[in-house]
Amino acid sequence: MAPLDDAKPVATPDEEGTAAPAAGRFLKAIYVYEVPVRVWHWINALAITVLSVTGYLIANPLPSMPGEASAHFLMGYIRFVHFAAAYIFAVGFIGRLYWAFAGNHHARQLFRFPFWDLHWWGELILEARWYLFLARKPKLYVGHNPLAQFAMFWVIAVGSVFMIVTGFALYSEGAGQGSWQDRLFGWVIPLFGQSMDVHTWHHMGMWAILLFVMVHVYAAVREDIMSRQSIISTMISGVRTFKDAEVPADEEHEAPAKRVKHAG
């Protein structure tokens, strides 16, 4: 099979599997997530955590500090950390977007929403049925399953753009008129009506991402334990291991494309 051509020699079928309680070993390994994707994933996860905590504290500040104002800068530090993490988040997103073009086809999946692909929708429904305990077995995927791709596209790809745009619009209010943040993103404020509404939507965006994170972490842990391929270790090593010999659903029509790319 084609995937083994791309498999890194780090994993061979004879080695002990990491999380395969049934078999205790895996039969196949495919290199999926390249280094920039993995590095971005964990930096992004950290940035989202920091942004959510500091963002929440900006809207709901900690109890008042005692003493003189000159002795403290708590709110200032919280805002600084929020802005610093926001820049990391934004620059990371731009880097990730670049890698969608420079990296392998799995790196593009986050930014794709195959709306017209009926086959894709069919598999999405199948995956949803599996999560609702209506289907006996899910399909195997080298990359993301359609349901995961759907959620990631809307919450991480579109959601990040939304948070970056609204976030920089709010930042531009402090940076002042004529600042590059104002010139690039200042139009967002009147688009929403006024600053208050942008705050509210930025806040709702945080909650949407947090809900995604909850489901994402749960699904990753659950899949790692229950399904027939690795999930969590893949985002660390980059290698997806399979516990049985079934052909992944997205292997056939994606692998040839990859081979063409390698040939060219």
Residues of this chain that bind other proteins (CB under 8 A)? 22, 56, 59-65, 69-76, 78, 131, 133, 173-174, 176-177, 186-187, 189-190, 193-197, 199-200, 203-204, 206-207, 210-211, 214-215, 218, 222, 226, 228
From the centroid of its chain, how far is CA 97? 12
| Residue among 87 and 187 whose Cβ is closer to other proteins | 187
| Residue among 71 and 260 whose Cβ is closer to other proteins | 71
| Residue among 38 and 179 whose Cβ is closer to other proteins | 179
Largest CA distance in the chain: 70
Instruction: Calculate the alpha carbon distances from 15 to 25, 26, 32, 140 in Å.
Output: 7, 8, 19, 21
What's the rounded Cα separation, in Å, for the pair 261 and 222?
Answer: 34
In the complex, what is the shortest distance from the CB of residue 76 to other proteins, in angstroms, rounded to a whole number? 4
In the complex, what is the shortest distance from the CB of residue 213 to other proteins, in angstroms, rounded to a whole number? 10
In the complex, what is the shortest distance from the CB of residue 57 to other proteins, in angstroms, rounded to a whole number? 10
In the complex, what is the shortest distance from the CB of residue 163 to other proteins, in angstroms, rounded to a whole number? 13
Q: Is the dihedral of CA 127, 133, 137, 143 positive or negative?
A: positive
What's the rounded Cα separation, in Å, for the pair 212 and 154?
Answer: 10
In the complex, what is the shortest distance from the CB of residue 141 to other proteins, in angstroms, rounded to a whole number? 16
What's the rounded Cα separation, in Å, for the pair 264 and 260?
Answer: 6
| Residue among 16 and 70 whose Cβ is closer to other proteins | 70
The first and second tokens of residue 219, run together, are: 């699904």
| Residue among 34 and 173 whose Cβ is closer to other proteins | 173
What's the rounded Cα separation, in Å, for the pair 78 and 72?
Answer: 12
What's the rounded Cα separation, in Å, for the pair 74 and 82?
Answer: 12
In the complex, what is the shortest distance from the CB of residue 192 to other proteins, in angstroms, rounded to a whole number? 10
Stated as kind and residue range, the H or E segment containing 31 is strand 28-31
In the complex, what is the shortest distance from the CB of residue 107 to other proteins, in angstroms, rounded to a whole number? 28
Instruction: Calculate the alpha carbon distances from 92 to 36, 45, 46, 121, 161 in Å.
Output: 10, 11, 11, 30, 12
The torsion angle over the Cα atoms of residues 202, 97, 157 and 185, rounded to 10 degrees, is 30
| Residue among 60 and 260 whose Cβ is closer to other proteins | 60
| Residue among 131 and 154 whose Cβ is closer to other proteins | 131
